[in-house]
A and B are shown apart, each in its own frame.
Chain A
């Protein structure tokens, strides 16, 4: 059974810092990995999708990498802003889509 772990569970940084969120998974036979953002009381917004044949994807200040063989992904956020405060979830898809518990990010002005 696929297990997805996200570290840290919570992170607080001052505005402007670069930061890295980590995701690990136990079964490397995946179709893709996605990073989502979830704001309180809201649904999930897809940020980046990395297919199994890819190693990274970039969107604006966000960069996600995938090392399938070691079962790891990182989400790098450059020059963090207070508006980046949210919970970030990674999800891997093989037979179904399994999520980690998320990292709750707070960016302080």
Chain B
């Protein structure tokens, strides 16, 4: 597609439920990133994929968070046993090539997650 697409744009769930957030990157972009942005803060890194593999998952806050990218394009961020503190906007970005250097990221509009 023309840009990075994220669905759903808004998700309201109850504490303890399971949530999946989807990211459809720009066609041909090999690198994909997930970030989390809380109100009034900058985005916080969660995980980076190069192709199908998670090259860096050091930002995932705990084992309730997991992400996959099975075919090297669409990625799904999965959150188990959601907590109120998980409420945030989850941003996805994609880019050509590897992580370093002249690597312009294109961001999606984000998925706003609210845990009641």
Mark the stretch among B70-78, B79-87, B102-110 that contacts chain A: B102-110
User: How far, in whole Å, are A65 and B100 apart by their CA atoms in the complex?
Assistant: 19
The answer to whether residues A100 and B101 also contact, given A43-B91, A43-B109, A43-B110 and a CB cut-off of 8 A, is: no
Does the CB pair A44–B59 fall under 8 Å? no
Most buried by B among A6, A89, A96, A98: A96
Known: A43-B91, A44-B43, A101-B40. A96 touches B105 (CB 8 A): no
State in angstroms the CA–CA spacing of A44 and B35 once bound together: 11
Least Cβ distance of B67 to chain A in Å? 15
Q: Which of A41, A45, A98 contacts B107 (CB 8 A)?
A: A45
A4-B42, A93-B100, A101-B41 known; A46 vs B105 contact (CB < 8 Å): yes
Would you call A44 and B103 a contact (CB within 8 A)? no
Mask of B44-66 contacts with A, CB within 8 angstroms, 1/0:
11001000000010110000000
A95 to B56, CA, bound (A): 9
Find out whether the CB atom of B103 lies under 8 angstroms from the CB atom of A43.
Answer: no
Chain A residues with CB under 8 Å of chain B are: 4, 6, 31-32, 34, 36, 41-46, 49, 51, 89, 91, 93, 95-102
